[in-house]
């Protein structure tokens, strides 16, 4: 919805009815139905166009590598590359650096995902969005349906309180690099070959 206004309109209003879109009479029903579509992709054998994916039990939620591919192939600005970083084992200083890096790379149209949980298991995923420039990120928590703030101290001190979960486990974040796709233009355009950023 952040990068596709037609899709966002369908979720909010039901129009235009997109081919292959799931059924839903209300905004909440359409949103929930599409979440199930996404989970089938992120947890299935393929994630993204012809990209093999290590299958993952639905009971364990969304695997970070499946979420990475979902972001790279449609849920973020086209061409944005993503990386998965483990946070659970980091020292306080390294976790502080990881948060600062996340603030630097998350941008409009290039969100991140944060996996949180208990001391033993990751249990929940939230969407990380750019804040308002004050080194604080915005976080959409699907468990509450609200956007809140994510501050560095709450991450470092492992007291996130995101749907009751405190411990950061993984972050799926933009790398700061974009994939470029080349195409050949018509030879009539001065006989030149052109490239375009995807």
Residues 174 and 112: beta-carbon distance below 8 Å: yes
Report percent pLDDT > 90 for the chain: 44
- Is residue 50 over pLDDT 80? no
Residue bearing the bigger pLDDT, 85 or 3: 85
Q: Tell me what the pLDDT averaged over the chain comes to.
A: 82
| CA dist list (Å): 52 to 28, 42, 69, 76 | 31, 11, 10, 20
* Residue range 93-145, pLDDT digits in tens: 999 999 999 999 998 889 999 999 999 989 999 999 998 777 899 999 988 98
Sign of the alpha-carbon torsion through 33, 37, 61, 64: negative
User: Residue ranges of the domains in the chain?
Assistant: 1-75, 81-178
The partner residues of 83 in beta bridges, in order of sequence, read 173
Residue bearing the bigger pLDDT, 74 or 105: 105
Residues 88 and 115: beta-carbon distance below 8 Å: no
The secondary structure of residue 37, as a DSSP letter, is: H
Q: What is the rounded CA–CA span in Å between residue 64 and residue 68?
A: 6
- Is residue 160 over pLDDT 80? yes
Indicate the Cα dihedral angle 55, 141, 131, 154, nearest 10°.
Answer: -100
The partner residues of 58 in beta bridges, in order of sequence, read none
Helix (H) / strand (E) element for 35: namely helix 27-43
Phi first, then psi: what are they for 108, rounded to 5°? -55, 125
pTM: 0.77
């Amino acid at each position: 919805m952040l990068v596709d206004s037609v899709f966002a309109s369908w979720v909010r209003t039901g129009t235009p009815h997109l081919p292959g879109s799931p059924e839903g009479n209300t905004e909440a029903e359409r949103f929930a139905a599409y979440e199930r579509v996404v989970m089938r992709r992120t947890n299935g054998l393929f994630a993204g166009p012809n990209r093999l994916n290590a299958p993952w039990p639905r009971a364990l939620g969304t695997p970070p590598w499946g979420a990475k591919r979902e972001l790279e192939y449609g849920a973020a600005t086209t061409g944005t590359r993503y990386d998965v970083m483990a946070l659970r084992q980091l020292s306080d200083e390294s976790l502080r650096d990881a948060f600062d890096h996340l603030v630097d790379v998350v941008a409009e149209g290039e969100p991140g995902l944060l996996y949180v949980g208990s001391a033993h298991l990751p249990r929940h995923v939230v969407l990380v969005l750019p804040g308002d420039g004050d080194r604080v990120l915005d976080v959409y928590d699907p468990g509450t349906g609200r956007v809140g703030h994510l501050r560095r101290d709450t991450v470092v001190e492992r007291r996130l309180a995101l749907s009751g979960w405190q411990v950061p486990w993984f972050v799926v974040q933009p790398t700061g690099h974009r994939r470029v796709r080349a195409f050949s233009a018509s030879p009539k355009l001065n006989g030149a070959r052109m490239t375009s950023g995807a």
